[in-house]
Structure 1
Amino acid sequence: MKYDFDFSAPLAYWPDLLAGAWTTLALSLASTFFGFLLGVFCALASTGRSLWLARVATVYIEVIRNTPLLVQVFIVYFGLSSLGLQVDAFTAATVALVVNVGAYTSEIVRAGVESIPKAQLEAADTLGLSRWQTLRHVVLPPAIERVFPALTSQYVLLMLASSVCSQISAEELTAVANRVQSDTFRSVETYVLVAAAYLLMSLVMRAVFWLVAMVAFPRLRRLGTPL
């Protein structure tokens, strides 16, 4: 049986596919930013002096890392509605992705924090630095620099995993592709184009994170170390 490929039909929907790709990027970047903040907070909580904060952070991390992302998306989407909070699919998807990636970010950053030699912390105490000054100048910069490649990979995986948000009708790339293939009956061609788009977006995100690393970490800039 011979199959004739015809990309003209799905390509006719290029404005919709482009809009879906843009929504995917916006969803991913927003989730990356807020997920990073949440992850750093949880990492500091789990390695800090407050026992109850450490326990709360540990429970959150274990629950999120041991349940499927799709289930978390459904819980956020339908749970907020049950509480009387009417939010659109994009907002619900963003919240779910932030909660998800925050747990993974926390574990990655925690590994970086725990890699800081105790001698550096003792030197900070000797200089009379406060706890916040120690975190700001001694702990976080080298810790995040060491784990930045792992964070980059995690956030690219987040962008790819955002396709599950199509299940709650978030108009990201996969959701648009589902609609296009149902209209054109060209499933293979549609998803080949979508796969190429995800590959391109992954490369773009890696390039953006590389630029961030070059700006944020002078040592990497001097060495020109790739991610």
Structure 2
Amino acid sequence: MAYQLDFGPMLAHADRFAQGALMTLELSFAAIALGTLVGTAGAIAASYGGPALRRGVAAYVEAIRNTPFLVQLFIIFFGLPTVGLQIDAVAAALIAMTVNLGAYATEIIRAGVQSIHRTQIEAAAALAMTRWQTIRHVVLVPAFEKVYPALASQFTLMMLTSSVVSTISVEELTAIASVIDSQTFRTFESYLVVMVLYIALALLLRGAFFLIGLFVFRRKRQVELLKHLPRRTVPASRLVPGEAS
């Protein structure tokens, strides 16, 4: 028997899909902001910290990058209460997403930090800049500029990974689809709508990060544009006597 698509029940629950998409975006943006801070601190520690601090950051990065996000989520949501730390599902989801993104961001930003040539740091020292001023202005700004595309891709992946938090009953997009599926028995339509919404959210994030990059790194664009502009030559007749070569 041929299956007939019926999106009527999906339209009836459009407001719930919108609420799920909003929760997905809220979790994603919060995790992106906090994860970037964790990644920046981790990259600085891994590049300029002492041996013990570097080993600690390396252990954190390897532990997170070599375990599934679902396991990390369960450790936080089900494990922490056993030691007396009671947290709700949304807080557990945000912590897990931040910890996960922080590890990947640490490696991405560290690659950018290590790409800064030592002569630039030596020039900052010659200008009597403090260590923090050197890290902030000479290292971090160009480092972020170099790795921004990779970071933006990781941010988008984090938004897609947020679907896993539905396993602890966080009412984000995938969880809402599961509930609607159980109520309408239209599995194919429910998850087809969710797939389209995830694609739309991913494109929205990619467009937003692209515009942010254009705004934040506009100075580099101006410099690159000047490099490609044709140089104007001044006719010898207009030169001041004694300036002609």
TM surpasses 0.5: yes
In the alignment, which residue of structure 2 is the partner of 1:89?
89
In the alignment, which residue of structure 2 is the partner of 1:2?
2
Residue 26 in structure 1 maps to residue 26 in structure 2: yes
In the alignment, which residue of structure 1 is the partner of 2:155?
155
In the alignment, which residue of structure 1 is the partner of 2:243?
none
Q: Is the 8 A contact 1:24 1:159 kept in 2?
A: yes
In the alignment, which residue of structure 1 is the partner of 2:173?
173
> How many pairs align?
224
Q: Tell me the amino acid that sits aligned with residue 30 of structure 2.
A: A
Q: Tell me the amino acid that sits aligned with residue 63 of structure 2.
A: V
Distance in 2, matches of 1:49 and 1:28, equals 29
Query: How many Å apart are 1:83 and its aligned residue?
Result: 2.4
Distance 1:37 1:14, change over 3 A: same
Residue 212 in structure 1 maps to residue 209 in structure 2: no
Query: How many Å apart are 1:221 and its aligned residue?
Result: 4.8
1:184-195 alignment, distance < 5 Å: 184-195=184-195
Q: Tell me the amino acid that sits aligned with residue 43 of structure 1.
A: A
Query: How many Å apart are 1:207 and its aligned residue?
Result: 1.7
Cα deviation digits, residues 172-199 of structure 1 (max 9, x gap)? 0000000001111111111110011001
Deviates more, 1:214-223 or 1:78-87: 214-223
Question: Which 5+ residue runs of structure 1 have no aligned equivalent?
Answer: none
Q: Secondary structure in 1 aligned to 2:116?
A: coil
Q: Tell me the amino acid that sits aligned with residue 30 of structure 1.
A: A
In the alignment, which residue of structure 2 is the partner of 1:124?
124
Q: Secondary structure in 2 aligned to 1:67?
A: coil
Query: How many Å apart are 1:120 and its aligned residue?
Result: 0.6
Residue 65 in structure 1 maps to residue 65 in structure 2: yes
In the alignment, which residue of structure 1 is the partner of 2:98?
98
Distance in 1, matches of 2:106 and 2:79, equals 24
Q: Is the 8 A contact 1:213 1:221 kept in 2?
A: no
Q: Tell me the amino acid that sits aligned with residue 167 of structure 2.
A: Q
In the alignment, which residue of structure 2 is the partner of 1:144?
144
Distance in 2, matches of 1:57 and 1:11, equals 47
TM-score relative to the length of structure 1: 0.95
In the alignment, which residue of structure 1 is the partner of 2:237?
none
Distance in 1, matches of 2:19 and 2:61, equals 33
Task: Name the % identity.
Answer: 49
Distance in 1, matches of 2:10 and 2:178, equals 11
Alpha-carbon RMSD across the aligned residues, in angstroms, is 1.3
Query: How many Å apart are 1:84 and its aligned residue?
Result: 2.2
Distance in 1, matches of 2:80 and 2:87, equals 8
Residue 47 in structure 1 maps to residue 37 in structure 2: no
Query: How many Å apart are 1:119 and its aligned residue?
Result: 1.0
Query: How many Å apart are 1:80 and its aligned residue?
Result: 2.3
TM-score relative to the length of structure 2: 0.88
Query: How many Å apart are 1:3 and its aligned residue?
Result: 1.0
Q: Secondary structure in 2 aligned to 1:192?
A: helix
Q: Is the 8 A contact 1:10 1:181 kept in 2?
A: no
Rg larger for: 2
Q: Is the 8 A contact 1:215 1:221 kept in 2?
A: no
Q: Tell me the amino acid that sits aligned with residue 134 of structure 2.
A: T
Cα deviation digits, residues 137-165 of structure 1 (max 9, x gap)? 10001100110000000000000000000
Cα deviation digits, residues 29-79 of structure 1 (max 9, x gap)? 000000000001001111114111111100000000000000000001012
Q: Secondary structure in 1 aligned to 2:86?
A: coil
Question: Which 5+ residue runs of structure 2 have no aligned equivalent?
Answer: 226-245
Deviates more, 1:207-216 or 1:37-46: 207-216
Deviates more, 1:91-100 or 1:116-125: 116-125
Deviates more, 1:81-90 or 1:34-43: 81-90
Distance in 2, matches of 1:50 and 1:128, equals 23
In the alignment, which residue of structure 2 is the partner of 1:77?
77
